[in-house]
Chains A and B, each alone.
Chain A
Amino acid sequence: MSKDIRSFFLPKGQKSEKPNQESNDIKKSKKRPIIIDSDSDESVEIIPKKKKENTANKKSGTVKKRVEILKPVDASDLFGSEKIKRSEAKPALVCKESKNKSKSPKECEQIHFDDDFEATLCQIDQLEDEVLSKNDVHKNVPDGKETKPKISPDGSKPSGKTVEKKQNSSPEAKEKKHYEKKLSENKNKEVVTEKDLKKETPKKAANLNESLGSPADPVEKKRQQALSYMKYLQRGGPKHLGSKEVPKGKAGCLSGLVFVITGVLDSLEREEAAQIIEQYGGKVTGNVSRNTSYLIRGEDAGQSKLNKAEALGTSQINEDGLFDLIRTRSDNTSNESHPTPEGIKKKKKHEKTRAEEDSIPSKKAKVESKVEPTETKKSIESKKVSLEDKPSVESKQKSEWKSSKNKTSTLDIKNQNYNSENKTEKETKITADFADVKSSLWVDKYKPTKTKQVIGQQGDKSSLKKLTVWLENWHKNHSGNKKHVKPSPWAKNDDGAFFKAALLSGPPGIGKTTMAHLVSKELGFDVVEFNASDTRSKKLLHMEISELLSSKSLFGFCHLGDTVHQTSIKHVLLMDEVDGMAGNEDRGGVQELIQLIKNTRVPIICMCNDRNHPKIRSLANYCFDLRVMKPRLEQIKGAMMSVCYKEGLKIASEALNDIICGANFDIRQILHHLSLWSVKEKQFPSGVGQAGAPKPHKDMKMGPWDVVRKVFSAEEHKTMSIHDKSDLFFHDYSINPLFVQENYLSVVPAAAKGCVKKTLECIAATAESISVGDVVEKTIRSRGAWSLLPTQAMFSSVIPGDLMEGYMRGQINFPSWLGKNSRTGKLDRLLQELHVHTRLSISGSKQALNLEYLPHIRDAILRPLTAEGSVGVPETLNVLQTYNLLREDLESILELTAWPNQKDPMSGIESKVKAALTRAYNKEGILTPYSVVNVVKKRSAGTSPDLEDFEEGGEEEEVDEDDVSVDAMIKAKKSQKRSEEVPAKGPQGRGKGGNGSNSRGGQKRGRGRGK
């Protein structure tokens, strides 16, 4: 048995160590607080093994060495520290003991045991810290080195064993398991044996040594982790979910206690348990730390947590234990707010029986989670050690309880003493933190310093790469040797050689400015930056920039001897936030910028958020268009994780995801969020990223498509209040009702369950609500009753969404109402015009014209053409003349009378006939009683037509037209002037009137003639 092995090497090492260690320990105890604070590793790392790894890393570069060196050191550490701890921990315990004794002499024996156990736990606790501090000691104190060689001969044995094992063991699982078994055996033994054997410390030490030391080798650890992870994946839910009654305790009965839950509990979901604990004022954290009062363990508990808990001496309870705790504490707290030792004692008595009952199963669970066979061994051992079987187990259980109780109680007592101190400490800390935050914002602190660090811009096709290439080749490209052609905007692999400026566009907070700065820096350009804080009006821009660009930077002169001296001639002009160039201050800024770009001798980089802003659009024509995309979630997350790590901020992965999504991938925002969290966390040491924490949310403007999806999605409704729903409407209250109306038919309502009748009922109710919404909207618009908007929100969005909640079938359409409405308007205008034209001969109103006349008029016009062909042309013309219709009006009539699925009435007419009609029509020059103003609307009523002027005007116009067509650009103005003179002379009759109005009209007519 391993016991024997231990006994082999223990005594010697111990003796030799003792003095040394003691001295060490004194130092340690002094240094400890400082070390812990400064060492960020500790807070992040939970598993002691890892720490060892880290330290090993520090000590030796190669892995091999690490393994070899690591072992002896560990052993020595463990040995020594343990002993000394013991001596330290004892007095406190003893005094407690004495107290206990005085209270209940009956329990004395048990308490004795308990204290023993407690002591060992404390040792473990200390050990842990020591392992850490040891490293520092080793580094700092030369003595530490001396200890190493001394101890190594003794310590080498166990460690050597493990190393050997590891080296020899092929990656067969069997052996490993075997090994694990041994490990757990040792552990168990340790637990059991510890209790009674004060004298057996050497043994224990060895035991501990093994238990802590052996899993230290990384490969082993990895395997274990993999195993446990597999287990984790396979583990199911609670076995007897909801089978136990949750006791009702006093509010706040668990206050001040910190719990960690591991594994699958028997009857509760983890979240439930956490909720219960929080309900009673307890705290639930994710990781075991010194503050943890209880570890609630279920089946398949996490090994690392158990290890840590064991190491820290955290008492472990199961679910029933938790319930008991609630019951007992709520009894107690009625008397005293803080559990004092007496209180605990009472409780102990009270609980004894219960604990007895519970102890066995809980014990079992514990053992189960480790390796089963050890149970028997353990029991045998425990028999050996303490003669009674059950009591020992019991007592152990109790001891656990007590120790934790003691701990908490002592903590509480201490708290009272140290409270003030702690507070002040905390406060100073906080203020220090704030100062820290102020002095260096995370955004600045973790700003990328190299282009490689820019998030999400590492690809070959990334904007950053393109920008770099562009900037690198700028001088080459614009040296004047080569002429570049303006590339088509759809060209894929354009390096922007043509452009003298680049335009970086993208949402805020993704690193555009940083990118530009870094690229310029790395290529050795001097940056001249103008941003929204500078006035950038036309004049100033012209003056300042041209001055700047022609001068040299002093930077180069200040750094003499550097190569910078040469490169500083290269400038790059950074125009940040160009979309902010607006208002009176910056009037003409964009135009000036464009001019600047045209003539620049240095590269210019412009930046903006909204690429589609009308102002930017003109600028974009002269710029190499680089669109910076939002980085993906994973890209941001990686970087943020490392920031969190550096800042010592523990954050759950999902919480980080939430923050990132909530900030809409705005890295700057995310960092701000995180730094806020970090401050908070130090104030309230738990709860960061826990489920209860409110999710950070950046208010985003959603597009109407997203809005309408949300309006109808049953999924989203679960988490939305009526206010949230009506807020959706307000994202854009003018278009949202239209979107709802357009798309509600394509929703499959969940309420209908696929039944057509029900669906139709839903639709009818929705349509009714929408119709009311329209009435409300009309009222709002016509009377300016904007206070009714929430009412409209209800009718137009919330009620439809509620009635139809389900899921969208098919995609969301843009409201066709807008298109249809404008088309309605267009046809109405045509009709209006027709009405005006036919007014002299028709008595009816516009509507009557539309509903009754038009088809007949159309037929009257087209019939001769279809029936007789070209011969019918005069007759058609006659009709047109009678009704004072223009050739163009015929088109309008056709459009107005066209219905879907109807054959085109013009299709029966040969194109020859059509041409003949047009020709005849033009020749005839039908006179109308009205002026033809369809070309230019704003023209006052013309005089009555004049035949004599007709020919003249027409010819004159034709000459003009030719001129225009010959040299459109140059003569346009002139001809327009002339054409304006023509109508002034008088003639405004049909044919030439239209011609005379302006050159555009003339061209139109000309084309018509060409047919």
Chain B
Amino acid sequence: MSLWVDKYRPTSLSKLDYHLTQAEHLKNLVQQGDFPHLLVYGPSGAGKKTRIMSLLRELYGPGVERLRMERVNFTTPSNKKIEITTLNSNYHLEVNPSDVGIYDRVVIQELIKTVAETHQLDTAGQREFKVVLLSEVDRLTKDAQHALRRTMEKYVASCRIILCANSTSRVIPAIRSRCLSIRVPAPSPEQIIVILQNVCKKEGVTLPPELAERIASKSGRNLRRALLMCETCKVQQTPMQPSQEIPALDWQTFLEDTAKMVVQEQSPKQMSEVRGRLYELLIHGIPPPTIFQGLLEELVKSCDMQMKRRVVEAAAKYEHRLHQGNKSIFHLEAFVATFMSIYKTFMEEMLGGM
């Protein structure tokens, strides 16, 4: 038994639910027999991976779905042994180089080289090339990206590379120019509602349209999240009610509470408390930009226009620092401190004015 989101994932280009024109394009691309390197990008939960897998299936047939996992070992120049898990079929290889952190360059160099240097055995009924699927390319280090760009050109005869990223902003232009970029936008709420209804129909449950709408809006156009939420709703209460409460995720609640604490009281003591909570969020692997976003969304609610501008400015500044710097807590804390200072001053002025 798997979750709905996995159960009803489309497996071929023709079965996709939205962005149909794009699907058509992809189909045409594959049918031509050859295609350039691809850079598929789009927000989380938009269906990038689904599309890629469909594409591969279109390309190689159902054989791509027979996946196996492999562990590959590398030795870095500094003699550190690293290990990475790859997902292989007979036709492609999927790897997430950022799994090994700063040693991703080695993975790129070694792994892709070994794959690309060997040709397909059976070229008669198959394509001449293999596909290497690199996920989370935007998290690759600059070194690894530079290592990638020559490889892409050199082994183009025997290997196609499909890059999957959330955003192209952190992919170096050299790579961007070597790829055909395919943007997969997040589905619109309407599309999400349709999909939710379809899934529920298949599951044999009725989804009240109001609830579907609410789920769609709350999911932030993230289909995965929407489906998961929908299933939770179903589990909580069957049959589902239109007024049913949609349970928020724990970390979201936690983040919101933290933001509320910041607004509630501004003092050094409160600062320490907030710091503790920020640490907690970081420990749980919540990405710092997400924390920034969550905090900001909550904090601006209690600001007037003038203050909003300043707070957003501060958030932008520290979020930028965050990427430049090393220790995210420093910057998160600086943002909170700045907000507290701004807010306190504002409140005192308000009280003084009254």
Contact = CB atoms under 8 A, between A and B. Distances in A.
Interface string B68-108: 11111100000001010101000000001001000000000
Nearest to B282: A824
Contacts of B327: 774, 817, 821
Contacts, number: 189
Contacts of B324: 775, 778-779
Interface string B150-162: 0000000000000
Given A763-B341, A832-B99, A882-B1, A778 B325 contact: yes
A831 B284 CA distance: 9
A420 to B, nearest CB: 70
B340 A763 contact: yes
B290 interface: yes
B266 A760 contact: yes
Nearest to A939: B71
Nearest to B99: A832
Given A774-B331, A777-B326, A856-B231, A841 B6 contact: yes
A827 B284 contact: yes
Nearest to A773: B330
A851 B341 contact: no
A840 B285 contact: no
B73 A940 contact: yes
Nearest to A824: B283
Nearest to A796: B330
Given A774-B326, A840-B87, A902-B250, A767 B2 contact: no
Interface stretch (A177-185, A221-229, A352-360, A926-934): A926-934
Interface residues of B, number: 70
Contacts of A859: 232, 235
Interface majority SS (helix, strand, loop, mixed), chain B: helix
A764 B266 contact: no
Nearest to B265: A756
A760 B83 contact: no
A820 B290 CA distance: 19
Interface in A818-857: 820-821, 823-824, 827-828, 831-832, 836, 839-848, 850-853, 855-857
Contacts of A937: 83
Interface in B218-239: 222, 224-225, 228, 231-232, 235
B35 interface: no
Given A768-B334, A844-B49, A931-B71, A757 B345 contact: yes
Given A763-B340, A899-B251, A929-B67, A842 B283 contact: no
Contacts of A763: 268, 271, 337, 340-341
Contacts of A882: 1-2, 6
Nearest to A813: B272
B136 interface: yes
Given A763-B268, A848-B45, A902-B250, A757 B344 contact: yes
Q: Considering residues B68, B83, B290, B326, which has the most beta carbons from chain A within 10 angstroms of its beta carbon?
A: B326
A900 B2 CA distance: 29
Given A778-B326, A817-B327, A899 B280 contact: yes
Given A757-B348, A817-B329, A841-B6, A853 B338 contact: no
B3 interface: yes
A929 B268 CA distance: 51
A188 interface: no
B249 interface: yes
Contact of B135 (A745, A756, A845): A845
Contacts of A766: 337
Nearest to B328: A774
A937 B85 CA distance: 12
Chain A, interface size category, equals 35 or more
Interface in B296-340: 318, 321, 324-327, 329-331, 333-334, 336-338, 340
Contacts of B241: none
B118 interface: no
Interface string B207-218: 000000000000
Given A778-B326, A859-B232, A840 B69 contact: yes
B287 A848 contact: no
A845 B325 CA distance: 24
B73 to A, nearest CB: 6
B202 to A, nearest CB: 17
A836 B69 contact: yes
B179 to A, nearest CB: 19
Contact of A855 (B99, B249, B282): B249
Interface string A467-499: 000000000000000000000000000000000
B272 A745 contact: yes
A841 B5 CA distance: 10
Given A859-B232, A941-B71, A764 B337 contact: yes
Contact of B344 (A756, A816, A855, A899): A756
Interface string A879-890: 100110000000
A933 B71 contact: yes
Contacts of B83: 937-938
Contacts of A383: none
A850 B285 contact: yes
A848 B46 CA distance: 12
Nearest to A930: B69
Given A843-B49, A855-B249, A897-B250, A774 B1 contact: no
A98 interface: no
A778 B324 CA distance: 7
B284 A896 contact: yes
A856 B272 CA distance: 32
A929 B87 CA distance: 10
A774 B327 CA distance: 7
B44 A847 contact: yes
A770 B338 contact: no
B176 interface: no
Contact of B1 (A756, A828, A879): A879
B338 A850 contact: no
Interface in B238-288: 249-251, 254, 266-268, 271-272, 275, 279-280, 282-287
Given A824-B285, A899-B280, A843 B268 contact: no
Given A899-B284, A933-B71, A745 B325 contact: no
Contacts of B344: 756-757, 760
| Nearest 9 Cβ contacts at the A-B interface | A767-B334, A764-B341, A843-B49, A941-B71, A767-B337, A774-B325, A771-B334, A764-B337, A778-B326
Given A851-B286, A902-B250, A941-B69, 16 more contacts: A741-B330, A767-B334, A774-B326, A823-B283, A824-B285, A827-B285, A845-B135, A846-B136, A848-B45, A850-B285, A851-B251, A855-B249, A875-B1, A899-B250, A899-B280, A937-B83
Interface of B: 1-3, 6, 9, 44-45, 49-50, 53, 67-73, 81, 83, 85, 87, 96, 99, 135-136, 222, 224-225, 228, 231-232, 235, 249-251, 254, 266-268, 271-272, 275, 279-280, 282-287, 290, 318, 321, 324-327, 329-331, 333-334, 336-338, 340-341, 344-345, 348
8 contacts: A763-B271, A767-B333, A817-B327, A836-B85, A840-B87, A843-B49, A851-B251, A882-B1
